[in-house]
């Protein structure tokens, strides 16, 4: 029964089979075929795009779609859409955007379900890969209301994913850095708009139909960019731990780390109060590493385990639910006799995802940069260097706590992590770039009419609460659910309840008072 109903819904869509790929003809350029019986992409979007936008989109792009795939309680369809690398048209080339359409198996035949686009945190991480209707946890609640679109943001996953190896194919480090400039929130939002238009046309829907967007962390930054660029395309905008900080500054990176370093110190204090015995373990680890001939240990992946990479374990642990426990259990396995254990060294590799998702490292500070001639210039490194308390070796010698760092990317990571060494020169060039395009339009946000709601976490180690409030004040009509029940990943801890709360804030189910 499930297969029959799924096929009933999808039978009108082009399919990818083992033998062939069928492309939707809706994107064929008008110069190559009679448009009398086929609406082109440019014509399709003419009612919602300015002339300048249409000129930049004069080239048409093909959408490919898979046959329906069945996962417990859900049906998914995988899509590929070709889009421009550079939406200004100044740099030639195309990339591919991958997105997965997810619908409850009980609602496959409901053609009236609106779309919800989920924008993943990062930057540089692909969308979730669902294994059931409850994975990730918020998905089940979303599927009660929507067809959910899980889009791999450009440069991640199956969307022309960037690796340290294939980045080299772009040429010199300068050319690599130039290529990377097209992988920020502004381009991600442009991709999303093409995805929306393609889905609407493929399903014979009104091209002006709107969708709801949900962004976690960096995904919330993208939501704010979307509100700035295409508010007419949005039914609702939902953000979780993702109000971008200080959006009126040319580059907010220095301001961000001035604030976040204080929150990192607080999280360290909490951690050691929970696990006081770990102070000695961490000092023992730092002592052991420092006493090695080159002050480092080689991991199974060829990374350097150094005092600073040990401190960087805080990124994936201090600010997430269950993170304290994961760090404590990991440290408990640190030694095998008088040496660092293989298990611990392998765990160090697993905790750092820079080798598989290098965009996170190389583009991280650029998410805070806008026009104004200011480069990020390794802002986190410059800020940490001002704090003597973050010197792990000195702290160990003095018998003091070794402080872990938080969501901070440092230039030394392009030395200590084997894969990142390949793109070190490009990373340095990106860090010095100061001619970034705008990510936000404050005047549009000030006049916002899109129902918008944000879950804002008071003790967030990744997005400073006070800086988030500055931005909240710029988005007209934004309603907030402010809580200290969660750290940064409330959507992971209690996704269904959080999503319902945000939808109710947008739809009037929770009244102003």
Please identify every residue annotated as catalytic. Answer: 217, 435, 488
- Which residues pair with residue 456 across a beta bridge? 482
**Local structure of 469: helix, strand or coil:** helix
E runs forming strands in 146-233: 147-151, 211-216
**Local structure of 88: helix, strand or coil:** coil
Residues 6+ apart with CB under 8 A from 261: 383, 384, 387, 406
Residues 6+ apart with CB under 8 A from 245: 252, 255, 256, 259, 368, 463, 464, 467, 468, 470, 471
Structure tokens at 149: 């679109």
Among candidates 372, 13, 364, which has minimal Cα distance to 217? Answer: 364
Cβ density class 398-411: b for 16+ within 10 Å, e for less: eeebbbbbbbbbbe
- Which residues pair with residue 80 across a beta bridge? 64, 98
DSSP annotation of 21 reads: B
462 contacts 319 by C-beta, under 8 angstroms? yes
Cβ neighbour number for residue 158 with a 10 Å cutoff? 15
Cα dihedral 11, 14, 16, 20 in deg (nearest 10): 120
- Strands 479-483, 452-457: pairing is parallel
Among candidates 350, 467, 331, 337, which has minimal Cα distance to 404? Answer: 331
E runs forming strands in 374-477: 452-457
């Amino acid at each position: 029964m499930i297969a029959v109903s799924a096929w009933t819904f999808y039978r009108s869509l082009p399919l990818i089979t083992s033998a062939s790929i069928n492309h939707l003809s809706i994107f064929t350029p008008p110069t190559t075929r009679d448009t009398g019986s086929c609406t082109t992409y440019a014509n399709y979007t003419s009612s919602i795009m300015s002339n300048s936008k249409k000129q930049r989109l004069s080239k048409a792009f093909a959408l490919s779609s898979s046959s329906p795939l069945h996962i417990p309680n859900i049906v998914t369809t995988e899509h590929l859409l070709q889009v421009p690398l550079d939406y200004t048209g100044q740099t030639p080339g195309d990339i591919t955007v991958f997105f997965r359409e997810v619908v409850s198996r009980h609602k496959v035949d409901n053609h009236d379900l609106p779309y919800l686009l989920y924008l993943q945190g990062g930057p540089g991480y692909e969308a979730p890969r669902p294994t059931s209707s409850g994975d990730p946890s918020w998905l089940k609640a979303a599927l009660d209301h929507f067809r959910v679109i899980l889009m791999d943001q450009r440069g991640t996953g199956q969307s022309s994913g960037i690796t340290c190896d294939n980045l080299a194919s772009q040429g010199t480090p300068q050319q690599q850095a130039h290529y990377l400039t097209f992988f920020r929130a502004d381009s991600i939002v442009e991709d999303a708009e093409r995805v929306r238009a393609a889905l609407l046309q493929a399903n014979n829907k009104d091209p002006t139909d709107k969708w709801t967007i949900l962004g976690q962390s960096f995904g919330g930054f993208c939501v704010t960019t979307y509100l700035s660029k295409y508010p007419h395309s949005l039914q609702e905008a939902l953000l979780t731990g993702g109000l971008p900080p200080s959006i009126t500054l040319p580059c907010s990176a220095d301001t961000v780390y001035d604030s976040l370093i204080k929150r990192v110190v607080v999280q360290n204090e909490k951690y050691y109060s929970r696990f006081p015995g770990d102070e000695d373990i961490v000092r023992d680890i730092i002592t052991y590493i420092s006493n090695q001939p080159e002050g480092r240990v080689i991991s199974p992946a060829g990374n350097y385990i150094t005092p600073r990479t040990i401190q960087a374990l805080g990124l994936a642990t201090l600010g997430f639910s269950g993170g304290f426990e994961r760090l404590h259990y990991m440290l408990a396995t640190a030694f095998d006799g008088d040496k660092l254990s293989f298990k611990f060294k392998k765990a160090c590799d697993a905790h750092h995802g820079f080798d598989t998702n290098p965009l996170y490292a190389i583009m991280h500070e650029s998410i805070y940069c806008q026009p104004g001639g200011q480069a990020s210039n390794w802002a986190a490194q410059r800020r940490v260097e001002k704090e003597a308390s973050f010197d792990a070796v000195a702290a160990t010698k003095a018998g003091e706590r070794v402080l872990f760092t938080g969501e901070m990317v440092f230039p030394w990571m392009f030395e200590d992590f084997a894969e990142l060494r390949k793109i070190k020169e490009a990373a340095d060039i990106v860090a010095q770039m100061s001619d970034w395009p705008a990510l936000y339009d404050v005047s549009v946000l000030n006049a916002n009419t899109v129902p918008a709601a944000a879950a804002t976490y008071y003790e967030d180690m990744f997005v400073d609460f006070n800086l988030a409030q500055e931005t909240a004040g710029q988005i007209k009509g934004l309603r907030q659910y402010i809580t200290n029940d969660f750290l940064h990943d409330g959507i992971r801890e209690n996704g269904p309840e959080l999503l319902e709360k945000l939808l109710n804030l947008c739809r009037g189910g929770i009244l102003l008072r």
